[in-house]
Amino acid sequence: MSNLKNTLTTKRFVIRKSLIGKNTVITFVNKKQETVTYNHDEVYNTHKERFESMNCFQKYKSYTNSNCVPSFCRDLQTVTE
């Protein structure tokens, strides 16, 4: 695994199979206009079984939430206003 950090700015919370192992830090702005940043691999690895069992993850190879960070992942986020 590389120590290089990739950054990605999106419009929503996202976990994608294509980003696994790429050490990507993702940033997006939620509905409350807070900037949320999280480490994609850390969130995925912590909740791997949960993501892998989701129909959307199996079918589309990704999980997204346009409003906020899912409650089961909130302990892994950083919020700045």
Question: What is the dihedral sign for C-alpha 3, 57, 38, 13?
Answer: positive
- How far CA 19 is from CA of 22, 23, 31, 67, 81, in Å, comes to 6, 8, 24, 21, 26
Task: Grade residue 4 by pLDDT with cuts at 50, 70 and 90.
Answer: low
Question: 13, 69 in Cβ contact below 8 A?
Answer: yes
Sequence-separated (6 or more) residues with CB below 8 Å from residue 1: 21, 23
The amino acid sitting at 28 is F
Q: Is the pTM of this model over 0.85?
A: yes
Over residues 33-81, the pLDDT tens digits come to 999 999 999 999 999 999 999 999 999 999 999 888 999 999 998 877 6
